[in-house]
Amino acid sequence: MNSPLIQARGLIKRFGDFTAVDGIDVDVRAGEAFGFLGPNGAGKSSTMRMIGCVSPPSEGELRILGMDPRRDGPRIRARLGVCPQLDNLDTELTVRENLTTYARFFGIPRKVARARAAELLEFVQLSERADSKVDPLSGGMKRRLTIARALVNEPDLVLLDEPTTGLDPQARHLVWERLFRLKQQGVTLVLTTHYMDEAEQLCDRLVVMDGGRIVAEGSPRELIERYSTREVVELRFTTDEQGTYAEKLAGMADRIEVLPDRVLMYVADGDDALAEVHRRSLSPSSALVRRSSLEDVFLHLTGRTLVD
Amino acid sequence: MLTLVLPKLVSFEGAGRRSASVAERNVTALGSAYWLVMLGGFLEPVLYLFSIGIGVGQLIGDIGLPGGATVSYAEFVAPAMLAASAMSGALSETTFNFFGKMKYMRLYEGMLATPVRPIEIALGELAWAMIRGSIYSAAFLVIMVAMDLTTPGRALSAFPATVLVGFAFGALGMMTSTLIRSWQDFDLIGSAQFALFLFSGTFVPATAYPAALRWLVEVTPLYRSVDLIRGITTGTVGWVQALDVVYLLVLLAVGLAVAGRRMERMLCK
């Protein structure tokens, strides 16, 4: 009963010479919300496609719902809900038909499909657009419809690849709220994201991926405790040379990071540290004390270089 | 029949049901514009039958079949138009439409996240193409009977033959779609289709060509289809028609197997 829904050992995915996923171990347990966090190109989507049984692993062991994706693909997929990174809704069908037709692919009887479509449209707040085609819908609506479609077979496991990328804040919050409800209903969620707030809001446990490898694993809280300090002081100085302050601030923080526009001090107590800064009359033009976030962990682990 | 040809590929439980759900999706997607496209596809061979079969036929008179029988030119051309319409019905669905769904609508990506497998998508799309092709064929056979170009009994036995022709060309079209890269290549398919239409013993008996060219014509799929259907509608069935049936079955099996394999490689990377 308590065997993991997803179990990966030494999982590798290669595309020609390029290794997208480079030997990862993952366990996802029933009922949890599990996140793959990482910059673009970290191997998140490739991992998701392998879990979704549409991409055969190059090497390693992978078991989904206790079955082997190489052999039991259709049987596993029957119990999965997949929300891909790019919407692939059927533009020739209406909103409602997108759900009923998709249900038919799972062998769900027409009558049940219609009832479930109505229920799900209610759940994602699209009932009023039921007979509209897909194209005129906004990005957020399409995403919600894709999520509804992923739920049409009442899956045990829902895979969401960057569920809120490209959505405006209102749309993102609506999606989060619906996902949170699913989680409360006991649905196991696996999602990828590069938004820290999303990971903090939704994930019980997550792994940080970089360059095809897992570089850290734990709950958002644990990761912050392990890889960051409790608080962060952000200082801006009027001079262009933020760098010269690194030396002056040395010894006052666990770690100091110099960015082009500001200096970050990783400390246990932000107010104490700021008082010390003022006492040494280093007078920053602005100062902000905040709690450490997953973003600090993420940037610490995956570096600040831009990855496309 | 398909389970006999491809036991390994469709042995999975529920495969038939899943293929049917793919065809069902196309029924749901039918829009009003589609009926116009269908009407066009039906009218084309009818127009050829009237203009060339009847019109030009009056200048030509009767024509001798390989078996020795003599038929009117319209009787000679009509089964060829029937075979050509079964071909074009199947091809239009499995080339242009299929390619668009695969590359641009990303439709199959969504389907593959469900229990549906690539070969089942291929089978479902093919079954759908067959429905369309069969409607063309049935309507055309009714016209042939009404114009006294064949008997009702022969028309009834010609119908399953047209379905086989449609299946074979559908599989061929689907295979081609998985092999080509861009829309430009469809011009080539269109040209090839038109060449087949003109030279597959449709308007002129293949015996009229020089030996080398005749041999080339006789191995083309449309020639074999025309030969099969003409044999039935003119009541001159012989052992050659059995060869035609085997030829088309092989085409169907190979086309479907290649299409399924290629789709798997493209969509399940």
pTM of the model: 0.82
Angstrom CA distances, B184 to B4, B99, B104, B266, stand at: 36, 12, 15, 20
In this structure, are A241 and A196 located in the same domain?
A: no
CB B73 within 8 A of CB B62: yes
A110 found inside a domain: yes
In this structure, are A188 and A240 located in the same domain?
A: no
For chain A, what is the domain count? 2
Closest chain A C-alpha to B122 CA, distance in angstroms: 14
Looking at every residue in chain B, the average pLDDT score rounds to 86
Question: Which strands form A231-236's sheet, in the order they lie side by side?
Answer: A255-258, A263-267, A231-236, A286-291
* pLDDT tens digits for range B2-47: 444 444 444 445 888 899 999 899 888 887 677 777 787 788 888 8
In this structure, are A54 and A146 located in the same domain?
A: yes
Q: Given an 8 Å threshold on Cβ–Cβ distance, is B112 in contact with A54?
A: yes
pLDDT at residue number A2: 62
Q: Which of residues 95-114 of A touch B (CB under 8 A)?
A: 97, 100-102, 104-107
User: Mapping DSSP to helix (H, G, I), strand (E, B) and coil, where does residue A252 land?
Assistant: coil
Measured between alpha carbons, how far is A59 from A47 in angstroms, rounded to an integer?
A: 12
A16 found inside a domain: yes
In this structure, are A183 and A242 located in the same domain?
A: no
In this structure, are A200 and A280 located in the same domain?
A: no
CB A34 within 8 A of CB A179: no
Task: Using the CB atoms, write b or e for B35-66: b if 16+ within 10 Å.
Answer: eeebeebbebbbebbeebbbeebeeeeebebe
Helix axes B118-146, B15-29, angle to 10 degrees: 60
A308 found inside a domain: no
Domain that holds residue A36: 6-218
Between the ranges A40-44, A103-107, B3-7, B61-65, where is the mean pLDDT highest? A103-107
Interchain CB contact of A85 with B (< 8 Å) = no
Measured between alpha carbons, how far is A82 from B110 in angstroms, rounded to an integer?
A: 9
Closest chain A C-alpha to B246 CA, distance in angstroms: 33
pLDDT at residue number A243: 67
* pLDDT tens digits for range B95-152: 888 888 887 778 899 999 999 998 899 889 888 888 878 888 999 999 999 999 999 9
CB-based contacts of A278, cutoff 8 Å, min separation 6: none
The dihedrals phi and psi of A85, each to the nearest 5 degrees, come to -60, -45
Tell me the CATH number at A73.
3.40.50.300
pLDDT at residue number A48: 94
Angstrom CA distances, A289 to A59, A200, A278, A286, B133, stand at: 46, 20, 14, 10, 72
Q: Which of A167, A186, A218 is the last residue of a domain?
A: A218
Tell me the CATH number at A260.
3.30.70
* pLDDT tens digits for range B189-199: 889 889 988 88
Q: What ipTM describes this predicted complex? A: 0.81
Per-residue tokens: B265? 């490689």
* pLDDT tens digits for range B210-264: 888 888 889 999 999 999 999 999 988 888 999 999 999 999 999 999 998 998 8
Mutation site, A14, A82, A105, interface B, largest B CB count within 10 A: A105
Over residues A137-160, mean pLDDT:
93
Per-residue tokens: B128? 């759908």
Looking at every residue in chain A, the average pLDDT score rounds to 89
Q: Which of A201, A218, A235 is the last residue of a domain?
A: A218
Over residues A274-297, mean pLDDT:
85
Closest chain A C-alpha to B268 CA, distance in angstroms: 5
Q: Which of A168, A202, A218 is the last residue of a domain?
A: A218
Tell how far CA B121 is from the center of its chain.
18
